[in-house]
Amino acid sequence: MTSEVFVDVDWTHDLDVAKPAIVTGAGGFIGGHLVSRLRELGFERVRAVDRKPADEWYQRFSDVDSLVVDLSSMDGCRRAAEGAGYVFHLAADMGGMGFIENNKALCMLSVLSSTQMLVAARDVGAERYFYASSACVYAQEKQTTADVPALAEDDAYPATPEDGYGWEKLFSERMARHFFEDFGLDTRVARYHNVYGPMGTFAGGREKAPAAICRKVIEAKLSGVHEIEIWGDGEQTRSFTYIDDCVEGTLRLTASSSRDPLNVGSSEMVTINDMVSLCEQIGGVTLRRRYVLDAPLGVRGRNSDNSRIHAELNWEPSIRLAAGLERTYAWIHDQMTSTGESHPLALAATAR
Ligand code: NAD
């Protein structure tokens, strides 16, 4: 995080809102927010694509063409990409550490949609192609201590990414690069770092740490059992990126001329114990901590080095964890306690 004040330029002029924008994975967390922002920016034609049945999408918009299709097939990708100006490829089988450590083949099968969307975008002559990669591409031996130096883009090589999920992301971002070099498809790649916020998964097994911790604190408060289970010793570190910064970074990068992968991540590194304390403060409760040392943990420490995004885009994520968590906690609390019409995510939570 930098305290510098950026001289902002209006990057939105570099996107042509008259060109059709396709968002894959639009029924999911980040895709839903991206579709929402594209509408706000004035995009006239947005196609939202996901394989989930429409009533399970986290966000849906009546003025957006919503297409339910499985992008594992070439035919599905061609339907999705028809007439595309911009393609934002976010569809992937993914989840938090518990999910990706136990579903490596499933995560790697996302290579089908990642590959075929590139082919389909090339064949329709898409103007620009954005690929959602991940900090899981970074070499694991550079993340072995909690006070790890922040990861810069070159730290992805020599390659020893997260097994399964990280390998697929690294392969697909390289393929995006070669589609530019060999076929002229103008690609952009973001490496997202732990994105969180309202309208994200908070239950069911695919949730990530911020949402899981908010949910556990809320459950403890509601049940009166003032205890929380924490995976590992809680001293592992991460940085967490609020959804508004993630979407902003996605669009700024797409509008830019930066073809090399860029970190889109907060550089505010915290321990999981710190994050639990923040959630306790928000909830006004103090919980007994029970550490599960053999739970899936991932790397010991990870943070985002933002030198390159700062240099290339004159911008970096800046929303503080305390502010983002407060909004996330409030939304999850509403979902878990509201008696009105339930969000698909709240239904997943009650079905557990
Ligand atoms: P999400 O699980 O909420 O959304 C992904 C969506 O993709 C789901 O709705 C799913 O149904 C859809 N999908 C998966 N396979 C599909 C297929 N074959 N055809 C059609 N749709 C398919 O995940 P998210 O958090 O919104 O993540 C979006 C992207 O960002 C993913 O590529 C993910 O790997 C990447 N990413 C996310 C994070 C994070 O912290 N959330 C971090 C790094 C990278």
pLDDT tens for 282-294 read 999 999 999 999 8
Testing ligand 1's pocket by substitution, the residue of 90, 109, 328 carrying the most ligand atoms inside 8 A of its CB is: 90
Query: Mind listing the pLDDT tens digit for each residue in 4-55?
Result: 555 566 888 899 999 999 999 999 999 999 999 999 999 999 999 999 999 9
What's the CA gap between 204 and 133, in Å, rounded? 23
- Whether pLDDT at 220 is above 80: yes
Alpha helices in 19-164, H assignment, sequence order: 29-41, 74-81, 97-102, 104-108, 111-123
Number of H helices and E strands in the chain, helices first, is 12, 13
Return the residue whose CA atom lies nearest to atom 41 of ligand 1. Answer: 195
**pTM, whole model, 2 decimals?**
0.94
What's the CA gap between 109 and 30, in Å, rounded? 20
Is 71:24 a contact under the CB 8 Å cutoff?
yes
What's the CA gap between 71 and 77, in Å, rounded? 5
Any domain includes 186:
yes
**Collapsing DSSP states into helix, strand and coil, what is residue 76?**
helix
94 Cα to the center of ligand 1, angstroms? 6
* Per-residue pLDDT, 345: 59
* Per-residue pLDDT, 1: 43
Amino acid at 188: R
Question: Residue 320 has which token pair?
Answer: 């503080």
* Per-residue pLDDT, 341: 58
Strand partners, 130: 88, 188
Residue 244: phi and psi, rounded to 5, are -65, -40
pLDDT band with cut points at 50, 70 and 90 for residue 352: very low
Any domain includes 82:
yes
74 Cα to the center of ligand 1, angstroms? 18
State yes or no: is 165 an active-site residue: yes
Any domain includes 279:
no
What's the CA gap between 140 and 160, in Å, rounded? 6
Q: What's the domain count of the chain? A: 1
Query: Mind listing the pLDDT tens digit for each residue in 94-114?
Result: 887 788 889 999 999 999 999
Any domain includes 342:
no
* Domain CATH for 54: 3.40.50.720
Q: Which domain holds residue 192?
A: 11-197+242-265+304-319
166 Cα to the center of ligand 1, angstroms? 13
Say which of 165, 192, 196, 329 is annotated catalytic. 165
Residue 156 DSSP label: G
What's the CA gap between 48 and 24, in Å, rounded? 6
Return the residue whose CA atom lies nearest to atom 3 of ligand 1. Answer: 28
pLDDT band with cut points at 50, 70 and 90 for residue 206: confident
Question: Residue 351 has which token pair?
Answer: 């079905």
Return the residue whose CA atom lies nearest to atom 33 of ligand 1. Answer: 92
pLDDT band with cut points at 50, 70 and 90 for residue 205: confident
Query: Mind listing the pLDDT tens digit for each residue in 55-77?
Result: 999 999 999 999 999 999 999 99
Ligand 1: list residues with CB < 6 Å.
25, 27-31, 50-52, 70-72, 90-94, 113, 132, 134, 192, 194-195, 201, 208
- Whether pLDDT at 319 is above 70: yes
Is 49:65 a contact under the CB 8 Å cutoff?
no
Taking all residues of the chain, what is their mean pLDDT, rounded to a whole number? Answer: 93
